[in-house]
């Protein structure tokens, strides 16, 4: 065997070892995150928290590259924070994303069926990873990650539930879910329930866990909600 052939074989083996090491590290990371989630649940139970939300541990996909991110296509997803993520027109025939034209914002607890995960680079900015979906018969793409220093930073686990929130939080009273479906915030709702109803909120500076005021853009119908002890005590229209 020639020295060149030996070198090629050595390089191929080294590459295979690196890939196997990355995969093993990813699996260990997944198991570690699942262990931490279970420990969090145990600690909450031992502490005797009255809020059953503490016991909910939504599943995550932990994507780290384009192939692993395509797991998003295997089940429906639900948007965690409405009115936060901008999506853009997408042409599946050319696989082109029109970054120059905002198509809208994902809605609170909006259910999506991701059709594909693609990459595209805007005229200005870094390479993006995007989830492709259809809405009212049209194709769109929403960014779920960005490439930095030749590594992907994927945040789809922060964007989407991959389990039906109605099942995850089935302990919520029927009137709470009715308010969520109507996109209304009612006194007595907690912040997570308000997020489900009207999307992303921005607390005032200096807010504490015991008392805070949160401003919700609510898709152009702003609300101001005051919380005390984790529950909404005042809901009014914002400016």
Domain range summary for the chain, segments of one domain joined by +: 3-55, 66-161, 169-237
Instruction: Identify whether the C-beta of residue 97 lies closer than 8 Å to the C-beta of residue 88.
Output: yes
Residue range 140-173, pLDDT digits in tens: 999 999 999 889 999 999 999 999 999 999 999 9
| Topology of the domain covering 169-237 | Beta-lactamase Inhibitory Protein; Chain:B, domain 1 (3.30.1450)
| 5 or 74, greater pLDDT | 74
Question: In which band, very low, low, confident or very high, does the pLDDT at 48 lie, cut at 50, 70 and 90?
Answer: very low
Beta bridge partners of 139: 134
Give the pLDDT confidence score for residue 207 in this predicted structure. Answer: 73
Give the pLDDT confidence score for residue 145 in this predicted structure. Answer: 97
Percent residues over pLDDT 90 in the chain: 72
For the domain 66-161, what is the CATH code?
Answer: 2.30.30
Give the pLDDT confidence score for residue 47 in this predicted structure. Answer: 43
Residue range 167-206, pLDDT digits in tens: 999 999 999 999 999 999 999 999 999 999 999 999 998 7
Give the pLDDT confidence score for residue 126 in this predicted structure. Answer: 93
**What's the token pair of residue 186?**
């009612």
**What's the token pair of residue 217?**
């853009």
């Amino acid at each position: 065997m020639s020295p060149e052939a030996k070198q090629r074989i050595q390089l191929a083996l080294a590459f295979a070892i690196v890939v196997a090491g990355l995969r093993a590290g990813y699996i260990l990371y997944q198991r570690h995150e699942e262990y931490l989630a279970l420990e969090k649940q145990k600690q909450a139970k031992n502490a005797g928290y009255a809020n059953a939300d503490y016991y909910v541990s939504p599943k995550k996909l932990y994507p780290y590259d384009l192939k692993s991110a395509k797991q998003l296509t295997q089940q429906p997803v639900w948007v965690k924070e409405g009115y936060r993520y901008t999506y853009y027109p997408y042409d599946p025939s050319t696989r082109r994303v029109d970054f120059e034209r905002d198509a809208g914002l994902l809605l609170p607890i909006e259910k999506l069926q991701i059709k594909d995960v693609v990459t595209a680079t805007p005229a200005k900015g870094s390479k993006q990873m995007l989830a492709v979906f259809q809405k009212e018969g049209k194709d769109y793409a929403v960014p779920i990650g960005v490439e930095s220093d030749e590594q992907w930073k994927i945040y789809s686990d922060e964007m989407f539930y991959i389990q039906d929130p109605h099942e995850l939080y089935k302990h919520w009273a029927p009137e709470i879910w009715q308010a969520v479906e109507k996109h209304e915030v009612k006194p007595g709702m907690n912040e997570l329930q308000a997020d489900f109803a009207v999307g992303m909120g921005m607390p005032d500076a200096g807010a504490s866990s015991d008392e805070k005021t949160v401003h919700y853009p609510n898709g152009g119908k702003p609300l101001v909600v005051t919380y005390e002890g984790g529950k909404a005590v005042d809901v009014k229209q914002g400016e």
